[in-house]
Amino acid sequence: MGACPSAHGKDKVPTETVLKSSRAGSVSETAEPATLLRTSGSKINSSSVPTGDALPLTRAIAGRLAGKVAIITGGSKGIGKGIAIMFARQGARVIVNYRSDPAGADDTVRECEAIGGEGCAFKVHGDVGKKEACEALIEAAWSKWGKVHVLVNNAGMEIQGDFLDVTERDYDRVMDVNMKGAFFCTQAFARRCRDAGQRGTVVNISSVHEDLPFPGFTTYCASKGGMKMMTRNLSIELAGIGIRVNNIAPGAIETPINASVLKDPEKLKDLLSKIPLTRLGKPEDISLCAVYLASDESTYVTGTTIVVDGGLTWYYIEHH
C-alpha cells in the first residue's frame, strides 16, 4: 500500500488540533440511522438469493488517491471511520474531524497510520454545527499540509421524535450538523481552493432517506433531502473554479447506530427481507464509492447522487 508522507518532508505532524469554536451538545457522528422501512406486499426470500458479498479489500486497487489530502468530518466511527481508513489505504493523507469521541478518532488515526505510515493522519476536534468551527477545520488542515484536495461531509445526526413534539432545539441541532455543517465546510473549502487556484472535490454523505419517508425522523429526512439538492446546485456554482460536488446515499449499513437491529434477529430478518441483495451494507461499500468520487477516475462526474443500498430504495418504491 502506498505511504502518505508529510508534505513538509520529515517533519512530524501533530496528531490533534482542537478547534476552540466547538460547543457542548450531543452529536451522533454518523451518517445513517437504523433503516426500518415499513413496506407492504411481497418480501424477498433471502434463503434463495445470493448475498452479493462486499468486495474483499485485497481485491481493491491500491494507490488511487496517492498524493491527495482529504478531510473527513465525523471520522471517529461508522461510515466516516471507514472512509478515512480506505482513503489512507489508497495513498491519501487524512484529517479526521470528530466532536464527541476522541478515543474513536484516535483509533481511526492509528489504523490510518498502520497503513500509510506515521504522520499520514491527524485528528481535529470541532463541532461542524457552528460556522466558525467549519472554517477553523479547513484552516487547520491547510496549515498542516499546505493543500487539501478532497472534503467528505460525513458528520451527521438524528433525533427521533413525533413531528408534533419536535422542539426548536432538536430541529436546530439536526439541521446545524447535517445541513449547516456541510454548507459552511464546503464554502470554506471552496474559498481556499479558489484562492490557491487549485481544483477540488466534495463528497457529501446523505442517506436513502433523502427520498424515502422515515416517520419519526422528519427533520433528519429534510436535512438529507437538502443535502442532495445542495449537491446539485453547488455542482453548477462551483464548476467554474474547478470543484466537483457529488453525493452518496447509503442504505442500511453495519455501523454502531444500527446495533439495536443487529442484535434483534426478528428486526434484522424483517429488514433484510426488504433488501434485494439480502445483506446489510458495510462501511467498505460506502468508502470504495467515496474513493471513486474523490479520485481522478471521476473527473467528468459532478452533481450526482450514487445510492448504495443493496436495492432497498427501488424495492420500497415498487411496494408502495
Q: How confident is the model over 214-247, as pLDDT tens digits?
A: 999 999 999 999 999 999 999 999 999 999 999 9
pTM of the shown model: 0.83
Half-sphere exposure of 223 (CA within 13 A, CB side): 32
Cα-only R_g, the chain: 19
- Judged by DSSP in three states, 97 sits in strand
- Reduced DSSP (H G I as helix, E B as strand, rest coil) percent helix, strand, coil of the chain, to 5: 45, 15, 40
Walk me through the domains of the chain, giving residue ranges and CATH numbers. 16-318 (3.40.50.720)
* pLDDT tens digits, one per residue of 162-205: 999 999 999 999 999 999 999 999 999 999 999 999 999 999 99
Q: Given 98, 220, 315, 316, which residue is catalytic?
A: 220
171 part of the active site: no
- Cell for 96? 479526521
Q: What is the DSSP letter of 179?
A: I
H/E stretch holding 107: helix 102-116
Separation CA 259–CA 274 (nearest Å): 18
pLDDT in tens, 250-270: 999 998 878 888 899 999 999
Q: Which grid coordinates belong to 269?
A: 430478518
